[in-house]
Amino acid sequence: MTAPAAGPVLEVRDLEVAFDTRHGRLRAIDGVSFAIHPGEILGVVGESGAGKSLTGAAVIGLLEPPGRIVGGEIRLAGRRIDDLPPAQMRALRGREIGAIFQDPLTSLNPLLRIGDQIVETIRTHLPMSDREARAKALELLVAVGIPAAETRIDHYPHQFSGGMRQRVVIALALCAGPKLIIADEPTTALDVSIQAQITGLLKRLCREHRTAVMLVTHDMGVIAETADRVAVMYAGRVVEIGPVDEVIHRPRHPYSVGLMASIPSVRHRAASLRQIDGSMPRLDSMPTGCAFHPRCPRCLPRCTSERPALEPAGIARAACFVAAEAPAHA
Amino acid sequence: MIVFLLKRLANAALVMVAVALLAFLIFRFLGDPVELMLNEQASQAQRDALRIRLGLDRGVVWQFLTFLGNAVQGDFGISYRNQQDVFQLIGERMPATLELVLVATVLSLVIGMPLGVYTAIRRNAPVAQALQFVSVVGVSLPSFAVGILLILAFSVTLGWLPGFGRGQVVQLGWWSTGFLTPSGRSALVLPSITLSLFQITLVMRLVRAEMLEVLRTDFIRFARARGLRDRTVHFRHALQNCLMPVITITGLQIGNLIAFALVTETVFQWPGMGFLFIQAVTHVDIPVMAAYLLVVSFIFVSLNTVVDLLYAVVDPRLRSDVVRGGAGGG
């Protein structure tokens, strides 16, 4: 399922993102590699500060200075895009790569009608007249499930609920028919009851258009429902990547094990949720060796000095010396 | 909308009554006008006659109500100094002040807004930093100093522009305008620059601060993620969202400009209301002072009300006729 005939839509290889500060260079993303194929949804999980959103921002070329890419490469459908000049990268955004952000309440310009925002995006990227673009905008609103789209197209963002606004944001992300969508915590700001609708919609639309999705979230529930594969990030590195069932049910890396164990389950009532002790290291005080070793329950002597590479572990890949020897279980 | 309008108007009326009370109190506390108006040899009969003519022999409440009633009808009494109708006196001077303030306001917006946008977008460029520095000078330089320096440079030394008076004016009904004659227009140049210098820097710094704020918002980031051109992002999305505070400040500053025009008018011997007020102060001409206070407050209050109404034009969220739709979740 991970190797269709065509090449990957997105290929990230050894990506490094750093912030140059007065106290030296802080490496926030350190050698991240992954690929996403057409129609595939890759979930990226990890706790806050693991570098998930930063990876997404690097792919769409919207890193906030002083953050910048200092190593590795990003390829979109085989074409290298991390070194494109700003104007070409701008033309790519929205056209080839769509984006969905966390908070639908603040993603839309409050002063413009939603129809105008969609039309302006379409006309930026596609050679269409105002009327054609408006017809397409209406089509999109219907496709994302906005009821009474013919009248709603002329409404302002504040006249929509959070879930409806996220549908509009999805319509905006899809309007020029991109190959890839970066969805950064698309459901985090929504009510739980709405979350499933939005992830369901995203999944359906991407299947239909064979759009690849990089789904950044810290919600394992969303990953389990939506993603095909999942990458677990910790301290700026991918520590485990593999098919979603495999990583959820048979996590190899001790961090993934801890992450899965901390998911509350409705079926099995636990007296208390398990948690991973300690917190993620700060960028300016990265431990030597494996970044997770100070918190790791199964730390070996070599973990404190050597950094494990991402090696096959079962049908997934994990960056852990322990996992390479004996599989761990939640 | 109607309720909102009525509320604003009621507020405005209340403020005006309070100001009228203050204006009225000036009469009570600035000594006996009869003593000021007549010379020491005047007989008691002459004093009493004047006292009755000015209505000063009645009770305080009666005097206030009469004052209020007359003021509403535009009757502010007669000037102590030259026995002229005060309303007519102010009416003759008002066009000069308002034309000066109008030109100064237009200048401050036309020059201040683009500079603000520029310094926000290119905030690290040397030109932008120089402008920031110069604007500090603009804010802190008192307007009489600017006026005198301009007169020295352009009237005395270079002889390009007139340094005092209003030039030739054309009478349009009761309004006298300097816009229609070359000498009237050239006479406007130096005073309006003097008056607007502070405003230009104020608008520039305000727009810059607001732009920096707005450029950090999610919807601007999302607009970039949609691949919109920089020009669209900056002017259509960012600047429009900065306009609320600019409208507020400009509206309120028009009131300030009318008040500050006093200094500029004195420097340039500009025959406006401020100049009239200064003359009134020197001669303790209380009706003129009270009327000036009322007229300026009236302009202030009207502007405030207009500003509130303009908000609704710029921001659809404040328009109550736009029905709040989108009930129910997404």
Q: Please determine, for residue B173, whether its predicted confidence score (pLDDT) is greater than 60.
A: yes
Inform me whether the C-beta atom of residue B216 falls under 8 Å from chain A C-beta atoms: no
Q: Which of A106, A156, A162 sits opposite B330 (nearest CB)?
A: A162
The whole-number pLDDT of residue A267 equals 58
What DSSP string runs through B152-170? IIIIIIS--S--SS----E
Inform me whether the C-beta atom of residue A292 falls under 8 Å from chain B C-beta atoms: no
Residues in chain A with CB shorter than 8 Å from the CB of B319 are: none
Q: Do A120 and B232 touch (CB under 8 A)?
A: yes
Q: Please determine, for residue A193, whether its predicted confidence score (pLDDT) is greater than 50.
A: yes
Tens of pLDDT, residues B59-83: 778 878 887 888 788 777 777 777 7
**Token pair of B97, please?**
């002040």
User: What distance in Å separates the CA atoms of residue B46 and residue B44, rounded to the nearest whole number?
Assistant: 5
Q: Do B241 and A109 touch (CB under 8 A)?
A: yes
User: What distance in Å separates the CA atoms of residue B159 and residue B147, rounded to the nearest whole number?
Assistant: 15
Residue B55 forms part of a structural domain: no
Q: In sequence order, which ranges of chain B are alpha helices (DSSP H)?
A: 2-29, 33-37, 44-53, 60-72, 86-121, 126-140, 143-150, 182-215, 218-225, 230-231, 240-267, 273-282, 286-314
Identify the CA nearest to B257 among candidates B144, B148, B105: B105
Residue B74 forms part of a structural domain: no
Tens of pLDDT, residues A277-320: 777 888 877 888 888 888 888 888 888 888 888 888 888 888 88
Number of domains in chain B: 1
Q: Average pLDDT for residues B307-328, to the nearest whole number?
A: 61
Q: Average pLDDT for residues A236-250, to the nearest whole number?
A: 90
The whole-number pLDDT of residue B328 equals 36
A180-184 vs A212-216, strand pairing mode = parallel
**Residue A64 to residues A53, A55, A57, A310, B133, Cα–Cα distance (Å):** 12, 12, 8, 28, 26
Q: Do A167 and B217 touch (CB under 8 A)?
A: no
**Residue A45 to residues A218, A231, A236, B15, Cα–Cα distance (Å):** 5, 6, 12, 59
Residues in chain B with CB shorter than 8 Å from the CB of A62 are: 221, 224-225
What DSSP string runs through B289-309? HHHHHHHHHHHHHHHHHHHHH
Beta bridge partners, A215, equal: A43, A183
CATH of the domain at B270: 1.10.3720.10
Instruction: Measure in Å the smallest separation between the Cα of A193 and chain B Cα atoms.
Output: 9
Provide the percentage of residues in chain B whose pLDDT is more than 70. 92
Residues in chain A with CB shorter than 8 Å from the CB of B228 are: 94, 120-121, 124
What range does the domain containing B216 cover?
A: 86-318
- Directed axis angle between helix B86-121 and helix B182-215, to 10°? 40
Q: Do B326 and A110 touch (CB under 8 A)?
A: no
Inform me whether the C-beta atom of residue A85 falls under 8 Å from chain B C-beta atoms: no
Tens of pLDDT, residues A2-39: 444 468 999 999 999 998 888 888 888 888 999 999 99
Q: Do A156 and B240 touch (CB under 8 A)?
A: no
Q: How many CB atoms sit inside 10 A of residue A40's CB?
A: 23
Q: Which of A103, A158, A161 sits opposite B328 (nearest CB)?
A: A161
Q: Please determine, for residue B281, whether its predicted confidence score (pLDDT) is greater than 70.
A: yes
The whole-number pLDDT of residue B323 equals 43
Inform me whether the C-beta atom of residue A188 falls under 8 Å from chain B C-beta atoms: no
Q: Do B225 and A166 touch (CB under 8 A)?
A: no
**Residue A233 buriedness (CB in 10 A; 0-12 / 13-18 / 19+):** buried
CB A23 within 8 A of CB A9: no
Instruction: Measure in Å the smallest separation between the Cα of A281 and chain B Cα atoms.
Output: 27
Residue B323 forms part of a structural domain: no
Residue B31 forms part of a structural domain: no
Q: Which of A95, A101, A198 sits opposite B227 (nearest CB)?
A: A95
Identify the CA nearest to A180 among candidates A11, A2, A4, A45: A11
Report the residue of chain B nearest A171, measured CA to CA.
Answer: B226
Q: Do B232 and A155 touch (CB under 8 A)?
A: no
Tens of pLDDT, residues B38-52: 777 778 888 788 777
Q: Which of A95, A109, A126, A214 is the mutation pick for testing B, counting most B CBs within 10 A?
A: A109
Q: Average pLDDT for residues B196-220, to the nearest whole number?
A: 89
Q: Which of B222, B236, B330 sits opposite A167 (nearest CB)?
A: B330
Inform me whether the C-beta atom of residue B316 falls under 8 Å from chain A C-beta atoms: yes
Q: Do A121 and B227 touch (CB under 8 A)?
A: yes
Residue B30 forms part of a structural domain: no
Inform me whether the C-beta atom of residue B321 falls under 8 Å from chain A C-beta atoms: no
Instruction: Measure in Å the smallest separation between the Cα of A316 and chain B Cα atoms.
Output: 32
Residue B286 forms part of a structural domain: yes
Residues in chain A with CB shorter than 8 Å from the CB of B124 are: none
CB A155 within 8 A of CB A114: yes
Residue B59 forms part of a structural domain: no
Average per-residue pLDDT for chain B: 81
Do you know the residue count of chain A?
Answer: 330
Residue B246 forms part of a structural domain: yes
